[in-house]
Amino acid sequence: MIKYLFQQVALTVVLFMLWIGTTNLSGGDVGMMPMLMGMLVLIHISIGITLSLIFRNQLKTPNSMLIGIVIFQFIYQLGPLVIGDEPMFWGIFEASSSGEINRAFALIPLVCGILTLITIVIREQKNTFANRV
């Protein structure tokens, strides 16, 4: 399970950096966002690893890993509440640069979570097929 958490974090960082290169935000926004993303990713991976170690006996089957990643996604989206802000999803429809930043912080991890879920399903189906043969 922990390898999937690291996969999601790595995908999030890579896609976020690719997005920063294509944005037309001001220099201050672009300069501070990687630091904020790094803090959020560090908080989330710490929470994810802690929960994975606590519930490692329950996270053995493919279905339980899928549920674990979905719960991690939910925690990930509520993470900004820890630092005293509102969840990023509430601001994705704003037209200003703040809305663009909220879209990046909300949708990039969501896309990476979906890619991680797809990876889990493909790997577990491949393992199941290999065990049947």
pTM over 0.85: no
- Residue 77: per-residue pLDDT: 76
Are 1 and 65 in contact by the 8 Å Cβ rule? The answer is yes
- Residue 80: per-residue pLDDT: 67
Cα–Cα distance measured from residue 122 to residue 116, given in angstroms and rounded to the nearest whole number: 10
pLDDT at 121 over 70: yes
Structure tokens at 47: 């929470």
Output the CA torsion sign for 75, 56, 37, 11: negative
Location of structure tokens 């294509």 = 22
Please list, in sequence order, all residues whose beta carbon lies within 8 angstroms of the beta carbon of residue 100, skipping any fewer than 6 positions away: 23, 25
- Residue 86: per-residue pLDDT: 67
Structure tokens at 53: 């170690």
Phi-psi region of 26 (alpha: psi -120 to 50; beta: other; left: phi over 0): beta
Binned at pLDDT 50, 70 and 90, residue 83 comes out as low
Give the model confidence (pLDDT) of 14-27 as tens digits.
Answer: 998 888 888 877 77
Cα–Cα distance measured from residue 119 to residue 124, given in angstroms and rounded to the nearest whole number: 8
Alpha helical stretches, state H, the chain: 2-22, 27-54, 62-78, 97-132
pLDDT at 88 over 80: no
